[in-house]
Amino acid sequence: LPGEGVPSAQKSSWATFLKSIASFSGDLSSLTAPPFILSPISLTEFPAYWCERPDLFAAIADAKTEKDRSIAVLKWFISTLKGQYTSRNEKLGSEKKPLNPVLGELFYGHWPDVNGRGQTNLVVEQVSHHPPITAYYICNPSKGLALQGHSAQKTSFSGGSIIVKQIGHAILAVDLPGGGKEEFLITLPRLRIDGLWYGSPYIELAETSYIQSSSGWLSTIEYKGKGYFSGRSHSFKAVLTPPGSSTAAKKYEGVWHETSKDLDTGETFTDVTTPKEEVTVGPLENMHDFESRKLWQHVARGIREGDYDAASREKSKIENEQRQRRRDEQAAGASWQLLHFEHIPSDPVYERLAKKFNGNPPTEDTYVFKHNHSQTPSVRSVPA
Ligand code: CLR
């Protein structure tokens, strides 16, 4: 039934919210939504989804050939999708509206070294507030792996769904045993947020995303939902093509939230029915004021405990403090300095790799991580 997932006291405010998104395109984060749809988690925590299968991430470094590394990257990438796009439904009952990070918000975490896979470190910084842009760096120094990316969204409304175009890309750099690096450009799929009418939103992926290796191997991943070629939600097909050829060397098919298989051998390719490993985060007492969980703690508590007046009071405090900061900066003729990332107008790695598969756009800006691998576990020195 329409509005089924909406608490009765919030039905009219949900209807108002839907009307406002229908007549709106751009930055959804600024729209006021009814309390039941609010998540106590900030968008700066989302990059952790990239590494909740740290073994699959580490396995990329153990592959021996260009082809096998491309297969390992594809396998790891597909295995992140369930966490990226369905975990709020599993944890919070439906897709929710995340907290909109403040400029300079930080999120640090790691996944411990288990069985020689090496420790993986995560650094996230909100590098823009208007529009919201989140930059991240994930590395496993002992395996010579580093993922750097940034994420923004352009939203529109169509046929009762929110369409989210992901802006940004990720580059995975793999140190090769004989020296040198192999690089992978990862583009991001389009999202459709369905179930709005019922008040229980969920994500479906659409269209195509790519993983282009500097070695020339290319993965093309096609996403479909219910009622398309497979009739199942969260379906995908992936083909891996060798350098300079469009003839598939490998084909995979399945559902990204459960399992998929290698179409030639029939063997299982991905299986995410086993538990994932959530990121380890240090204690709140040791956090700087700008670290996400500390910054939002009172808002998050209000949302979790259903005390929405407290949540909105605390949120206003943060927003007012931010506005004051911007005014002070302007008066001083200063601007906010990013801590871990540097903005560059055009990413040379993106440009070089996008050219190989006629990627669109041909160039993109990026946020480069300023430190090196070995610094990531201790980058928690934040200016006052
Ligand atoms: C952020 C980058 C991650 C993958 C990801 C998953 C869910 C997306 C999120 C990104 C961006 C913000 C998002 C969210 C789902 C809902 C939310 C689009 C792309 C919007 C802002 C909230 C809409 C409100 C409805 C739920 C009513 O790697």
pLDDT in tens, 224-256: 998 756 589 999 999 999 999 999 999 999 999
> Which tokens hold the place of 187?
């583009």
The tokens 């992978």 sit on which residue?
184
pLDDT surpassing 50 at residue 215: yes
Distance in angstroms (rounded) separating the CA atoms of residues 200 and 142: 42
What Cα–Cα distance (Å) separates residue 368 from each residue in 121, 174, 342?
16, 16, 5
- The finding on whether 29 has its CB within 6 A of some atom of ligand 1 is yes
Distance 100 CA to ligand 1 centre (A): 11
- The finding on whether 124 has its CB within 6 A of some atom of ligand 1 is no
- The finding on whether 97 has its CB within 6 A of some atom of ligand 1 is yes
Distance 88 CA to ligand 1 centre (A): 10
Cβ contact 106:252 at 8 Å:
no
- Average pLDDT score over residue span 19-24: 86
ipTM over cut 0.85: yes
- Average pLDDT score over residue span 323-335: 97
Distance 243 CA to ligand 1 centre (A): 34
- The finding on whether 77 has its CB within 6 A of some atom of ligand 1 is no
Distance 93 CA to ligand 1 centre (A): 15
The pLDDT value recorded for residue 381 is 42
pLDDT surpassing 90 at residue 1: no
- What residue owns the CA closest to ligand 1's atom 22? 97
- The finding on whether 153 has its CB within 6 A of some atom of ligand 1 is yes
The pLDDT value recorded for residue 231 is 83
Distance 94 CA to ligand 1 centre (A): 12
Average pLDDT, the chain: 94
pLDDT surpassing 90 at residue 213: yes
- The finding on whether 37 has its CB within 6 A of some atom of ligand 1 is yes
Determine the atom of ligand 1 nearest the C-alpha atom of 84. 4
- The finding on whether 201 has its CB within 6 A of some atom of ligand 1 is yes
- The finding on whether 215 has its CB within 6 A of some atom of ligand 1 is no
